[in-house]
Structures are given as C-alpha cells and as structure tokens.
Amino acid sequence: MTPLIAGLGSALPDTAEQQSLWDGFFREHFRGSRLARRVFAGAGVRRRHTVANPIKEDLSGWSTAARMRRFDEEAPRLGHQAVAAALDDAGIGADEIGLLTVATCTGYGTPGLDIKLAGSLGLRPDLRRLFVGHMGCYAALPALGGVADFVAAHGRAAVLLCLELTSLHIQPPTDDPQQVVSHALFGDAAVAAVLHPAAAGLEVVDIAAFTDDTASSHMTWEITDLGFRMGLSPQVPEVLARHLGPVLDDLLGRNGLRSADVQGWAVHPGGPRILDTVEDTLGLPPAALQPSREVLAEHGNCSSATLLLVLEELLAGGLRDGNHVVALAFGPGLTLYAALLRAIL
C-alpha cells in the first residue's frame, strides 16, 4: 500500500498586516526600539493571521490558563474547517478515515482537540487518534511519517492536522532580541492533509531525522505562567548549515537520487536567514525556495502548520508526474527533519 497525500485543506483566522501590527501595537510594546523596528521590517512577512490581534486585544498579561481556555474556544472551529476542506479535496468521506493525528505546540487540554474534531466531523467511533505535542516547527514531518506508516500498514485513509495559534502566546514587554524576532515572525493557521493508499497525490517515499543535542539550548519553547515563551538563538542557521548537506545526501542517496533529481523544495520558512542558509548550503537557485518565501510573506511562521502551507503553494505552482520533492523542517533539539516525496498524478 503506497501512502499518498491525496488532499490538503487550510483554515485561517483574521488577517493582520505586518506594518499595522508594528504601528498599532508592537512599536509601543517594544518601547520604540530601533532594533525591533529593523527586525519587523526585515522579517520577510507582509501579513499574518491571528485569532488574537494585539491591536484589538492585548493578551500579554494573560495567565497560561486563560490562554488555554481561549485555545479551546478557537481551535475546534479552525480544525474542523481545515479537515473538512482536505477531505473534500481528496474526495474522501469522513467514515473512511481510520486515523486522526493532531499536531500542535500552542494549546493543550483534555478532552483534546482530536476528540472534539472526531465528534464534530462525524468520524467513526473506532477511529484511532494520535496527539503530537510540543515538537514545534518540525512536527509536521514526524507526524506525516507516522500517518504514512498507518496507511501503508492498514490500507486505510488517515488525516493529519497541524494547528497552531501562536498569537495566544504574546509575551510581556521586553528588550530580549529573541522575543522581538519571534513576535515579528509568528502567525496562526490550521492545515490538514489526507493520506490515502490508492489515489493520486504526493507519495511519501522516505523520511530522515537528525538531532544535534549539543545545540539543544538554541531553540526552546518554555511553558511559563504567562503563556509559552520562545527562545531562538541567532546561531541556529550556523548549526543547520553543518548538518543539512549530510542529512540530505543520505536521504537522497539511499533512494538512488541526487540533489539535481529534485524538482520541488518545500522548506519550512523559519525566517529569512533560515531560507538563505538552506539556499546557500545546498546551492539552490533563488526560484527553488520561492514557495517558502511566499508562505512566509503571506502567513509568517505558523510553526508546524507552515510546511503544509508550503506544500499547498508548491502544488498550486504545478508538479509533473514523477517529480521528486524534498521537504525540510527544523525545530527544538536542535532537530532537522527531511522527507522525500514523489508526485503521482
């Protein structure tokens, strides 16, 4: 049974323009900092989507409990819309789904989002459910690997939902440059993928992972009394540059391929420096990462949901039957995940 991504669907909350966010809130929030102004202007983001626009409501003083209640109010609606759209795109009925996997690092509670979606979507009572939590920006790929393994083993369709509401975790005013960067980049999104054993789409061929635990402090996601707080070291691109080539060579080599055989690149747009590092390290032409740069510009970094948005963008640009696609994502650990996909159209 060959697992394929047969359908994708997304749901986005209200749009917020980057310049409006700076002028209407973050200029004062960061006390008119020149550094903050430069970071916001150079983030590569034109607009983002937020369930909590700070211009309209400032959550920076909210407790973590209050933020989790808000997640519980917002996430089921967006998740339902994304999964319903993906099912429609794949032409699959809800009763055909054997596994629902939900990945998020921005909200928790029990009964969880997976249980609520199973009910609202009318999924089968014998549905298998899996929750992937707190893995951060790379979570889409290990989750995709698990879903693909289920489809291959059982010959049944499955759904992966990546849903992140980063706007719920705005932090109190600070001079910390790492907080400035994260507040300039992150947005909200829900994106779902339907995998099916007998359909056209993107075949999940192989997945690779590499973790450099000597750099574990470079990217963190800490639970505090005032929401979740990101740590993002400027050394992250340098560490990724050391490992990208060997990981990619191993993934492609064991499948009889070279970098020149790859027709599409779906790279998680963690920020402009991350994309520049991938482009320079792998020797890619500028056009190769245009889908990732466009997603960054239109959505910001939506943590685990971002990579699926890039795949949507890549598919909209057109792939031919047999084209190979490499997906790359990065996150805490410091962890690098890579997936080899192949278009079957």
% helix / strand / coil in the chain, to the nearest 5?
45, 30, 25
What distance, in Å, lies between the first and last C-alpha atoms of the chain? Answer: 17
pLDDT of 198 reads 79
How does DSSP assign 97-117, residue by residue?
A: EEEEEEEESS---SS-HHHHH
Q: Which residues are catalytic?
A: 137
What is the Cα–Cα distance from 201 to 344, expressed in whole angstroms?
A: 5
Place of tokens 């400027």: 234
Residues 6+ away with beta carbon under 8 Å from 51: 13, 14, 70, 74, 78, 165, 167, 168, 188
What one-letter code names the amino acid at 73?
E
Q: What is the pLDDT of residue 46?
A: 98
Give yes or no for a contact between 183 and 314, defined as CB atoms under 8 angstroms apart.
no
Query: How many angstroms separate the CA atoms of 302 and 185, rounded?
Result: 8
pLDDT (tens digit, 0 to 9) for every residue of the chain, 345 residues total? 789 999 999 999 999 999 999 999 999 999 999 999 999 999 999 999 999 999 999 999 999 999 999 999 999 999 999 999 999 999 999 999 999 999 999 999 999 999 999 999 999 999 999 999 999 999 999 999 999 999 999 999 999 999 999 999 999 999 999 999 999 999 999 999 999 997 799 999 999 999 999 999 999 999 999 999 999 999 999 999 999 999 999 999 999 999 999 999 999 999 999 999 999 999 999 899 999 999 999 999 999 999 999 999 999 988 999 999 999 999 999 999 999 999 998
Cβ of 93: how many Cβ atoms within 10 Å?
A: 10
CA atoms within 13 A on the CB side of 107: 28
Cβ(165)–Cβ(59) below 8 Å: no
Topology given in CATH for the domain delimited by 201-344: Peroxisomal Thiolase; Chain A, domain 1 (3.40.47)
By DSSP bridging, strand 219-224 and strand 262-267 are: unpaired
Which of 320, 302, 343 shows the shortest CA–CA distance to 103? 302
| Domains 4-196 and 201-344 agree in fold | yes
Write down the domain spans for the chain: 4-196, 201-344
Least Cα distance to 106 among 205, 191, 11, 187 occurs for 187
Q: What gap in Å lies between CA 270 and CA 29, rounded to an integer?
A: 23
Q: H-type helices in 204-289, by residue range?
A: 236-253, 272-282
Nearest to 14 by CA among 49, 60, 38, 52: 49
Residue 11's contacts (CB-CB under 8 Å, 6 or more residues apart) are: 77, 78, 79, 80, 81, 82, 85, 189, 190, 191
How many CA atoms does the CB half-sphere of 266 hold within 13 Å? 29
Query: ω before 334 within 30° of 0 (cis)?
Result: yes
Sign of CA dihedral 197, 198, 203, 205: positive
Tell me which CATH homologous superfamily contains domain 4-196.
Thiolase/Chalcone synthase (3.40.47.10)
Give the torsion through C-alpha atoms of 46, 51, 54, 59, to 10 deg: -140
- CB contact set of 212 (below 8 Å; sequence gap of 6+): 239, 242, 243, 333, 334, 335, 336
pTM for the full model?
0.97
How many angstroms from the chain centroid is the CA of residue 240? 18
